[in-house]
Structure 1
Amino acid sequence: MDFFSWPPIAAILDGAYGLVTGLSATVAPFAGTLSGLLAVAMLTVLVRVLLIPVGVSQVRAEYARRRLAPQLAELQRRHSGDRETLAQKTMELYRAEQVSPFAGMLPLLAQIPVVTLVYAIFTHATIAGHANALLGEHAFGAPLGTSFVGLTGAGAGVWPAMLVYVGVLALIAVVTTVSRRVLTLPQPEGSAAPAGMVRALSFLPYVTVLFAAFVPLAAAVYILTSTAWTVAERWTLRRLLDPARGAGGSARPTTSH
């Protein structure tokens, strides 16, 4: 049984489909064949605007964790041989400082249902019993319901549509690179995380490029728009919420003493 045919999920999917088709119809008079792609980008922006409070909490928690880095390192030094006690003391510290260790994951977790819905919208021929008109949407000849991997296996006639997919994947890689360079903060003094591990983890976002190659073009456009939004939002919020600015100091990376 298809999960999206279950009545409650089908109703949610149908609502999302109606929103995307409504956005597409709104911009069609001036966007033409790009209306479907633009509708997905508009949906992304709408979701990210609603998630701005989550982004604010994430940046505040980020600065708080940097402030707590020396204390966390000291806890690891004291209780390195007792993981249960270390976990307990770490959570006690987070609770005492009113810092969530999971705040950094909230924007990603909140978007997973949306990416899933966009994926489902552009992979189902019927939605809630009616034909899916969005499967006929194209952008520069590239079908929004086909993935990069799917198009490569289609044989002849994939050009110049393939250029659209390559362009979207390349832009995701560029935005990810900008994110690594602009948003990666220097490790605070006393941090317990090895520099090599931090450097290795900083390459993890590139997995997004691989993931985007396997999802429909519409979902890849969602990923691209959301990633670009993340860079702009995080850069802005870090400067607005920087404790150094709040204390009347210059805007500089926060360090612990």
Structure 2
Amino acid sequence: MLDWLYTGIAFVMKAWHALFSTFLDPAGGITWALSIMFLVVTVRLILFPLFVKQIKSQRAMQELQPEIQKLRKQYGSDRQGMSQAMMALQKERGVNPLAGCLPILPQIPVFLSLFHVLRRLAPGKDGLYSWSDELTDQAAKAELFGAPISSSFNMTGPKEAAILGLDGVTYGGIRVVAVVLIVVMCITTFVTQKQIMRRSGPVEGQAAMVQKVLLYGMPLSLFVTGFFFPIGVLLYWTTNNLWTLGQQFFILRKLPPPGSPAAKAKAAADKPAIDPKTLAPKPGAKPVRTKPGRPAPVDGAVSDVPSDTGSTSSNGSGSPGKGAASRSPGGKSGSAPANRGKRKRR
């Protein structure tokens, strides 16, 4: 049923093996190890657009958190109403919560296919899928640090006898390589999950509990199941984790989570600086100096605010300055009574 998928994975490994065989030993373990590692590169490059969608979906969900909190307060214990309101809000904003799983789902069949291909590898077997008999035998006998890539920590049946019958191959050597790769795989899985938590930002409630389960549960489960994985599968998983670490480091550096110190620093750095020249007075205009708490006068307007010393002149003498007119309560000029007196004497 899934032979087409197994054939596709075997074909990609065969293509990379043919490339590396141009300057490396075709039967060497390093050649086949590089073929598995570049299988990871091929898959992750194909899935990179889905990873970008995942990042955008996570950031959009973070921006919706304040509105989601309001909906929770509004609906209280009404789960059905809350669910419908959430779906309406996500549809309105174009957010798909399932987009966060997009890069993970396609990797599952790839991992299972590689596991199936390497598990069937054994010295002296017929050609598998798109591989010839010679290529299949080379892959089964290829050793990485003394352990064939098709071997695992626990083996039974004819495969165990065929692999242990190879020159220089011992169960002890296989198990040492397997344990080292299992430990590295678990550590990189833990660090990768920590990075995912940093990328997604702070969460609360059930989401926080799920993150903790994944943070500690995934490495523990891999530590148990890793003893049954072929060496090639352990190498695939470790390489996949290292790729994820590098990819997420790049994303976190370029697009830090909203509200994080890195995001605030990036926003401050991107803010345009104010040119001091734009704050300087225009040519020919005197700079306006105001006391603290007092607004500056608008250009061309006369300030009606009296000075603190009670003087009306600019030189502080207490007499009106030139051109200053004292206004009477009626709003007329102070020179009007003097004119009336002159008219009476005449």
Q: What range describes the TM-score normalised by the shorter chain of this pair?
A: 0.7 to 0.9
Alpha-carbon distance in 1 for matches of 2:39, 2:245:
18
Please name the residue that 2:265 is paired with: 250
Please name the residue that 1:141 is paired with: 146
User: Which residue of 18, 29, 32 corresponds with 1:33?
Assistant: 29
Identify if the C-alpha distance between structure 1 residues 236 and 137 changes in structure 2 by more than 3 Å, giving closer, same or farther.
Answer: same
Amino acid at match of 1:203: Y
Deviation at residue 43 of structure 1 after TM alignment:
0.6
Q: Please state whether the residue corresponding to 1:122 is helix, strand or coil.
A: helix
Amino acid at match of 2:13: V
Q: Is the 8 A contact 1:58 1:104 kept in 2?
A: yes
What's the TM-score, normalizing by structure 1?
A: 0.78
Structure whose CA Rg is larger: 2
Deviation at residue 221 of structure 1 after TM alignment:
1.4
Identify if the C-alpha distance between structure 1 residues 209 and 105 changes in structure 2 by more than 3 Å, giving closer, same or farther.
Answer: farther
Please name the residue that 1:170 is paired with: 183
Indicate yes or no: 2:210 matched with 1:205. no
Deviation at residue 128 of structure 1 after TM alignment:
3.8
- Residue deviations 1:105-153, cap 9 Å, x none? 11110111211221121122553496433323321221222333338xx
Q: Is the 8 A contact 1:148 1:215 kept in 2?
A: yes
Identify if the C-alpha distance between structure 1 residues 128 and 212 changes in structure 2 by more than 3 Å, giving closer, same or farther.
Answer: same
Deviation at residue 195 of structure 1 after TM alignment:
5.0
Amino acid at match of 1:104: G
Alpha-carbon distance in 2 for matches of 1:69, 1:235:
24
Identify if the C-alpha distance between structure 1 residues 203 and 78 changes in structure 2 by more than 3 Å, giving closer, same or farther.
Answer: farther
> Which structure 2 residue ranges, 5 or more long, are not aligned?
165-169, 268-346
- Residue deviations 1:204-224, cap 9 Å, x none? 331334343332221221111
Indicate yes or no: 2:83 matched with 1:83. no
Q: Is the 8 A contact 1:60 1:241 kept in 2?
A: no
Alpha-carbon distance in 1 for matches of 2:69, 2:210:
15
- Residue deviations 1:214-235, cap 9 Å, x none? 3222122111111111121122
User: Which residue of 244, 266, 281 corresponds with 1:230?
Assistant: 244
Q: Over aligned residues, Cα RMSD in angstroms?
A: 3.1
Query: Could you say which structure has the higher helix fraction?
Result: 1
Q: What is the aligned length?
A: 240
Alpha-carbon distance in 1 for matches of 2:152, 2:70:
48
> Sequence identity of aligned pairs in percent?
22
Q: Is the 8 A contact 1:69 1:192 kept in 2?
A: no
Please name the residue that 1:66 is paired with: 62
Amino acid at match of 1:187: P
Query: Which protein, 1 or 2, shows the higher relative CO under an 8 Å CA cutoff with sep ≥ 6?
Result: 1
Amino acid at match of 1:213: F
Alpha-carbon distance in 1 for matches of 2:15, 2:146:
22
Deviation at residue 40 of structure 1 after TM alignment:
0.4
Q: Is the 8 A contact 2:197 2:211 kept in 1?
A: no
Indicate yes or no: 2:7 matched with 1:14. yes
Q: Is the 8 A contact 1:40 1:221 kept in 2?
A: yes
Identify if the C-alpha distance between structure 1 residues 200 and 17 changes in structure 2 by more than 3 Å, giving closer, same or farther.
Answer: closer
